[in-house]
Structure 1
């Protein structure tokens, strides 16, 4: 009884795959082509006087890269002054204190309700510029207006959530 002949492998597209020996010959041809291309590149970079020093060969047009000094040029004095910042709008907030409340308690607030804060009367208030704590000060009344006298500047490391 004859053994059944294996069917040629089919690809996903339904076409027959090439035989294994054809794939091997194509792979060996590609490998030979790649080795020939690498050999031609090596022969171009190799100096004519010493063919054994191919690893030390450098292209003749190569030159070391030189960095230029980075020196800023000063612009006209009128462009370098603080006057450029005079028209910049900043958001300034003064925080008397904080508290946490339930939504139920917030909904019950009416005119005249009292909200207790986490600071005592006379404690310094916080001054925020664009959300960043920059200073602390004390509340004053001047000509019937509230104002803040800056008592302490806070370092740039202080960030408040």
Structure 2
């Protein structure tokens, strides 16, 4: 009999709405899916479209002694650690993001992106 009374009390407690604490009031909350659709993403990225980024293309590197740097002058040649035709590194805000090849277009140097680099610094094959 005690078990039946305990079960009846538990059912009554779960069926009865609990009273809100004193001084509390309901809060209007947006629906869970509202504002999370893909339509807001373009607006968020649009805010960033005019942010300046530092883009740097690195042809190669060289280590030199101070004495050698002081001797540099017009016509001096600095040998780099990459061969002609090797991919160049593309940095955005000092972070390696891609590799590409140097081209000349209308007498200007440019870079064709060949590989996008993942977070670990490894090249992902570009999907075509």
Q: Give ranges in structure 2 of 5+ residues lacking alignment.
A: 1-31, 123-128
Cα displacement string for residues 60-102 of structure 1 (whole angstroms, at most 9, x for unaligned residues): xxxxxxxxxxx68527838734211101110000000001000
Residues 1-161 of structure 1 correspond to what in structure 2 (within 5 A)? Answer: 74=35, 77=40, 80-158=43-121
Q: Greater strand percent: which structure?
A: 2
Q: TM-score, normalised by structure 2?
A: 0.63
Question: What do you get for the CA RMSD once the two structures are aligned?
Answer: 2.3
Q: Greater helix percent: which structure?
A: 1
Q: How many residues align?
A: 89
Q: Which has the larger radius of gyration?
A: 1
SS of equivalent residue, structure 1 residue 136 = strand
Cα displacement string for residues 1-58 of structure 1 (whole angstroms, at most 9, x for unaligned residues): xxxxxxxxxxxxxxxxxxxxxxxxxxxxxxxxxxxxxxxxxxxxxxxxxxxxxxxxxx
Q: TM-score, normalised by structure 1?
A: 0.50
CA contact (8 A) 1:137 1:149 kept: yes
Judged with a 3 Å threshold, the aligned counterparts in structure 2 of structure 1 residues 115 and 73 are, in CA distance, closer, same or farther, namely same
